[in-house]
Amino acid sequence: MGLRQCFTDHGRTSMLILYSLPFSNYSAKVAIAINVKGIDHEKRPPPGGYSSPEYMSIVPSGTVPGMDDDGVILSESDVINEYLEEKWPNPPLLHGDAELRGKQRYLSRFHDFMVEPNLRALFPHLVPAQRDSAFVNDKLDSFNHQVGRLENFVDPKPYLLTEEFGFADCAYPVTFLLADLMFDVFGRKPEFGAKISRWREHVDVHPAVAPVLEISEATTREWLDGVTGGS
């Protein structure tokens, strides 16, 4: 099967389908972008479950989020958001000249590679019997360190780099919510500087963000109660 066939021969659909899970912060990144652009879409859980053969027959990576736009199959949140930006350019998520657009892309990657992985690494340690306190504190400290670095990269206007809601603004809201909830499980609090705290106050009530946060908080709290035994 050729590459083009692999990515397109899964049936034609009249509406964009976002394969996602409500507690996935990468799914939330795409859901926020879709909300900003007002794209008609349908959210579906991955059929058969995450990485199932059934789902991988549609989205070869087996990861969420996955997208089916009239037979165009994509995965990875930034790839999907770049596609959405090109196909539905208004309202834009990438603003300004090439330099500013590059910085917006960089901040989204910074989330994916430097900030979020510190929380993901702690998922097994949410189970009290599997908890390594030294490892937990190292990852919590690393998260705070990377958020401190982020503080040096941004100048909220009120969004991270621009006056209008942008590409990088999609990445952080649900991850920072997850940090609030996970740090609490471990008896600590995340350290958000003045710039990021001000940005959060503004972005969390944005009409494209608030409903995603509401769903994410409810499902994440339920998930955390399940894995921690309510402790």
Q: What's the rounded mean pLDDT across residues 194-206?
A: 98
Q: Which domain holds residue 165?
A: 98-228
Residues 75 and 159 occupy one common structural domain: no
Separation of alpha carbons 113 and 125, rounded Å:
20
User: Looking at residue 229, what is its pLDDT?
Assistant: 85
pLDDT grade for 4, boundaries at 50, 70 and 90 = very low
Number of domains in the chain: 2
Separation of alpha carbons 188 and 142, rounded Å:
13
Q: Report yes or no on 92 lying in a domain.
A: no
* Strands of the 41-44 sheet, one edge to the other: 41-44, 16-19, 66-69, 72-75
User: Looking at residue 231, what is its pLDDT?
Assistant: 63
Domain boundary residue, one of 64, 87, 110: 87
Where are the extended beta strands (E) located within the chain? 16-19, 41-44, 66-69, 72-75
Separation of alpha carbons 211 and 85, rounded Å:
21
Answer yes or no: are the C-beta atoms of 52 and 46 closer than 8 Å: yes
Residues 206 and 171 occupy one common structural domain: yes
Whether residue 84 has pLDDT greater than 70: yes
CATH number at residue 177: 1.20.1050.10
pLDDT in tens, 145-192: 999 999 999 999 999 999 999 999 999 999 999 999 999 999 999 999
Residues 210 and 129 occupy one common structural domain: yes
pTM for the model stands at 0.93
Q: Report yes or no on 30 lying in a domain.
A: yes
Separation of alpha carbons 13 and 73, rounded Å:
11
Residues 38 and 64 occupy one common structural domain: yes
Residues 109 and 199 occupy one common structural domain: yes
User: Looking at residue 165, what is its pLDDT?
Assistant: 98
Query: Which residues does residue 69 pair with via DSSP β-bridges, in sequence order?
Result: 72
CATH number at residue 53: 3.40.30.10
Which amino acid is located at 197 in the chain? S
Q: What's the rounded mean pLDDT across residues 203-224?
A: 97
